Amino acid sequence: MEDKKSNVNLKIDNDLEQGVFSNAISIHVNNNEVILDFGYMLPNQNPVTIKLVGRVNLTHQTAESLMNVLSNAMLDWRNKQKSVKQ
């Protein structure tokens, strides 16, 4: 069986290139989609105030793929951290 790898070009608009910081997330799942709301918890606010910095709508299939990829990436990171401490 031949393993064919294809090249993928990722284009990022200038206004998205820097990214945003998020320290809070809310996840909503319904029959049609999975919605990820990313927020920034503003410091020294009473009551606690979270500013929405991004929203991503996913299909269920894409959300499951994200969950697996993120889980594997975090496991790799933890293993690298352990090897650095030894």
The predicted pLDDT at position 2 comes to: 58
pLDDT at 3 over 90: no
Give the residue from 58, 68, 62, 61 showing the smallest Cα distance to 27: 58
pLDDT tens by residue, 4-63: 678 999 999 998 899 999 999 999 999 999 999 999 999 999 999 999 999 999 999 999
pLDDT at 55: 97
**Is the pLDDT assigned to residue 1 strictly greater than 60?**
no
CA 31 to CA 40: how far, in whole Å? 27
Domain coordinates in residue numbering, the chain: 24-85
25 within 8 A of 38, measured Cβ to Cβ: yes
User: Quick one: fold of 24-85?
Assistant: Transcriptional Co-activator pc4; Chain A (2.30.31)
